[in-house]
Amino acid sequence: MVEFGFPAFLVLSAFLFACGLTCLATKRNAIGILMGVELILNAANLNFVAAARFVPTFRLEGQVFAVLVIVLAAAEAAVALAIFLNFYNNHATVNVENATDLKG
Amino acid sequence: MTFHDALFLILATASAVSALGVVVSSSIIRSAIWLLFMLMGVSGLYFFLGAEFLGAAQLIVYVGGTMVLVVFGGMLTTRGPFDHVPVGLVGWVLGGGLSLALFALLVQASLSFVSHPRTDTALPGTGPLGLTLLGVPETPGQTAYLLPFEIVSIHLLVVLIAAAYLARAKRRPTSTHPEADHG
Amino acid sequence: MLPNSEQFSALLSTLSADLVAFLPELILAGGITLLLFLRLFPQLCRVHSGFVAAGVVALALTTLLGNGHVTTNADWEPGAFTGLLRLDLFSQFLRGLLLLFTLLLLLLCDQTGIPDRDDSADFCVLLLGGTLGLMLMTSANHLLMVFIGLEMASLPSYALAGFLKGQRTGSEAALKYVVYGAASAGVTLYGISLLTAVFGTGNLVTVTQGLGHMIADSESVPLLPMAGLCFLFVGFGFKLAAVPFQFWLPDVFEGAAAEVSAFLSVASKAAAVGLTARVLLLLQEANPESVRLAETLGIALAVVATITATWGNLAALTQTNLKRMLGYSTIAHAGYMLMALSTLRKDGMAAVLVYLVMYLVMNLGAFAVVAVLRNRTGAETIAACRGLIARSPAVGVSLTIFLASLLGLPPLGGFVGKFLVFSAVYDAGQAYAVAGSPTLEWVYSLLLGVGIVNTVVSAGYYLAVLRSAGLDEAEATDASGHALPLGEPWGVAVYLVGLSIVLLILGLVWNPLITLATSAIR
């Protein structure tokens, strides 16, 4: 019988991370990319909480990490969406492929 | 298989499938709904691990706050509810291949990682967590987290101002009423 | 559950010393709040908020300089705030540099007027918030503070990049910056989560010691912490704009206002260099006798430095937009700084600190000239520089001095910085040869050659601008064919000439600076 320990959580979080990276690479919509970032941040947070559970010296620290990351992610989403809407006002799209005014 | 393991499998599968759903949906609103389920699954995993405060915070802040922002953003910037943005084959092959390779590497690394002995006691609850955020460590001499707790509040203030600046309309130089332009 | 009186008094006793050393950051935080409250009084808004912000930064800077005695305590374990920050001389040096730069930038903004009176309070809050984050980055001693510092520095920068929100290019710059920046922050955090999961703590000293032993001792390096370290360096590389994470920089620099580009180019880079240098030094200190770290990480960094410098210089050759050209030049300079960092030795780190001081003055000056050109001619192209020396001797000669210094001509500050970096690379090669690694001697000699060739290549674009400014006929002429004066305000002229004189002095008298940098590294 398999006991699902720390490695199982690491594999799950690696899967979420890989999904996030794929989102970053394939989504052309800026909000889709932001969702990919949220996936990656959640993958990292899952690592923190799992480590808090399974690593004795990390019990409190892991939770502190996770709670602060949740706060920072919310702040990041707020600024990112403000910038996206601002871009939308000027370009009438949030498709990053249409961001082509700046080229060398 | 114990109940415990079955619960983990259900939660993990739900989160993983939802994460995959975020990736493969070509509609932004569908992606957002998949992301919602992913966040709930992760929150369930936090509860499963015994971090009740984090599970609740994840539900309240992420599911309740951040996701609403993302869905609003999606609705404000797409032309219709099912505005599909197709992805080229090259993007899928390149992005997917790279992520798959990285995933394989990380799985190998995780499985070869010698796990620490499992601690049987429950995670410290909200009390010790709150105290350490106020600068009182669990045992004297340990790191306490008063500084990040306080500095993040300044950060949130700055972010609030940044978002408000970007979102509000540019003040008109002809405006005669300085108070009338808070819209 | 409340803290008992014993815990409370223990908290007070540890906090009192830490808060004194942390006073500059507290003053900045107070300044941010003050700027917010000033808006309650419309009468006070007549004062340009830039002056208030400049006053706050100046106060923070003097406090920092007056704090010297607090931070020299070398055996001050485990660090401030129960080990979260390390407010040592190294961080003191970089925090001073950041505050000085922000002060100079605020003074420039007052002259060029890029945030108009309505928006200046927002602009200053973002600038102060960003500086606060950068200061945390340079003094972080815990991976949590590294991430918080990165985020606190990045988010205001995203907003600053799109500060001219009505412009298409400004909003595009902000979009690109926030998309790439958020992605790199996510990857960095994932790396941090792997590292902390392996070592059971986020304390930078513990983590780097563990990593250093893993790299130096075992033949087969465990995969998980190495992946974590790589992801962490992705974030650093993004902030440094090292290849392959440089693609965002030219677009963002071109789209953002010149003043904001200067902030991203100098302050952001100084903090990223400081953070990277701290991590590298800690890694090396974990196992000071071994050359294995240099043989792995050192060579990898040397390769990245080579590609970064070469890419930046080659791409800059074909640019027509002055701001974009300076963006590529920023990438090239990141390459030179990475060369010094790749030595993993203390004199290399001291060299990079001196380089940063010179870089601050000359790059700020160059962007200030761009801002003046934008205000007076409405263009930011190299063509707008035509006949600049004839049109305005003060601006033209200052631009000559800044660009010559960026190129590294003696007797200017830029030469000193480059000379120190190159000699540190040479010394590293010699030292590693003595330590018994002929490969490394070969690598660092090659790196030195790359640096010199790159400097020669960079002459191509810096001198092209200077030729245009000095020899070409001005486009704007009066009826009799004489060049029209640029008509810059006298304040700007004084500012630019002042920066040039500082650069000249730094190029002649640089021993005190080296002493300071060496003592900061210890």
Give C58-112 pLDDT, tens digit per residue: 999 999 998 765 554 444 567 888 889 988 889 999 999 999 999 999 999 988 8
Give CB contacts under 8 A, 24+ apart, made by B141-146.
Answer: B142/A60, B142/C82, B143/A61, B143/C82, B143/C83, B143/C84, B143/C142, B143/C201, B143/C203, B144/C11, B144/C81, B144/C82, B145/A64, B145/A68, B145/C84, B145/C144, B146/C11, B146/C15, B146/C81
Write the CB contacts of C515 (distance below 8 Å, at least 6 apart in sequence). Answer: none
Closest approach of C402 to chain B, Cα-based (Å): 33
As a whole number, mean pLDDT of residues C218-227 equals 82
- Cis, bond preceding B148 (omega within 30 deg of 0): no
pLDDT exceeding 70 applies to what percent of chain C? Answer: 97
Mutate to test the interface with B, among C82, C86, C204 (most CBs of B within 10 A): C82
For residue B48, the distance in angstroms to the closest alpha carbon of chain A comes to: 10
Name the CA radius of gyration of chain A, rounded. Answer: 18
Task: Calculate mean pLDDT across residues C209-221.
Answer: 81
Read off the pLDDT of each residue in C206-217 and give the average, rounded to a whole number: 88
Q: Which residue has the tokens 């030179």?
A: C336
| pLDDT score recorded for residue B174 | 46
Above 90 in pLDDT, residue C39?
no
Residue C450, CA atoms < 13 Å, CB-side half-sphere: 26
Q: Give the SS3 label for residue C27.
A: helix
The pair of three-digit structure tokens given for residue C220, joined into one six-digit string: 């087969």
Q: What does the pLDDT read at residue A90?
A: 87
A26 found inside a domain: yes
**Per-residue model confidence (pLDDT) at position C74:** 46
Q: What is the pLDDT of residues C396-415, one digit of tens each?
A: 999 999 999 999 998 899 99
Q: What is the CATH number of the domain that holds A47?
A: 1.10.287.3510
Residue A29 included in any domain:
yes
Collect all residues of chain B within an 8 Å Cβ-Cβ radius of residue C132: 151, 154
Chains interfacing with C (3 or more CB pairs < 8 Å):
A, B
Q: What is the pLDDT of residue C1?
A: 66
- Domain spans, chain C: 7-288, 291-522
CB pair distance less than 8 Å for C190 and A82: no
Q: Give domain status of residue A75, yes or no.
A: yes
Q: How many domains are contained in chain A? A: 1
* pLDDT tens readout for residues A11-55: 999 999 999 999 999 988 899 999 999 999 999 999 999 999 888
- What value does the mean pLDDT take over residues A71-77? 95
Contact A56 B39 (CB under 8 A): no
Give A90-94 contacts, CB < 8 A, sequence gap 24+: A90/C166, A90/C167, A90/C168, A90/C171, A90/C172, A91/C168, A91/C171, A91/C172, A93/B77, A94/A29, A94/A30, A94/A31, A94/B77, A94/C175
Nearest-Cα distance to chain B for A82, in Å, is: 6
C-beta pairs of A39-42 under 8 Å, 24+ apart in sequence: A39/B19, A39/B22, A39/B35, A39/B38, A40/A16, A40/C183, A40/C186, A40/C187, A40/C189, A40/C190, A41/A69, A41/A73, A41/C186, A41/C189, A42/A16, A42/B38, A42/B39, A42/B42, A42/B62
Q: What DSSP line would sit under C65-87, residue for residue?
A: HHTHHHHT-TT--S-HHHHTB--
Residues of the domain holding A83: 6-93
CA–CA distance, C74 with A88 (Å, rounded to integer): 52
Nearest to C195 by CA among B152, A41, A62, B104: A62
Cα–Cα distance between C413 and C419 in angstroms, integer?
Answer: 10
Contacts for A5 with CB less than 8 Å, ≥ 6 apart: A54, B115, B118
Residues 52-91 in B contacting A (C-alpha not used; CB under 8 Å): 53-54, 57-58, 61-62, 65-66, 69-70, 72-74, 76-78, 85, 87, 91
Give residue B149's pLDDT band: very low, low, confident or very high (50, 70, 90). very high
- Compute the count of residue pairs across chains A and B with CB atoms less than 8 Å apart: 229
Among the four given CATH numbers 3.30.2350.10, 3.80.30.20, 1.10.357.10, 1.20.120.1200, the one describing domain B7-107+126-172: 1.20.120.1200
Q: Three-state SS for C362?
A: helix
CA pair distance C414, C354, nearest whole angstrom: 10
Q: Is C497 left (phi over 0), alpha (psi -120 to 50) or beta?
A: alpha
Q: Do C190 and A69 touch (CB under 8 A)?
A: no
pLDDT at C183: 95
Task: From chain B, pick out residues whose CB is under 8 angstroms from the CB of A83.
Answer: 166
**Residue in this structure with the two tokens 């693609």, named with its chain if needed:** C247
Question: What's the mean pLDDT when you consider all of chain A?
Answer: 89
pLDDT grade for B123, boundaries at 50, 70 and 90 = confident
Residue C214 has a pLDDT of 87
Q: Is the pLDDT of residue B115 over 70?
A: no
Is residue A10 situated within a structural domain? Answer: yes
Do A15 and B103 count as a contact with CB atoms less than 8 A apart?
yes
What's the confidence (pLDDT) of residue B172? 53
User: What's the pTM?
Assistant: 0.94
Q: Could you tell me which residues come within 8 angstroms of residue C287 by beta carbon, excluding any fewer than 6 positions away?
A: C212, C213, C215, C216, C217, C293
ipTM: 0.96
Reduce the DSSP state of residue C352 to 3 states and report it. Answer: helix
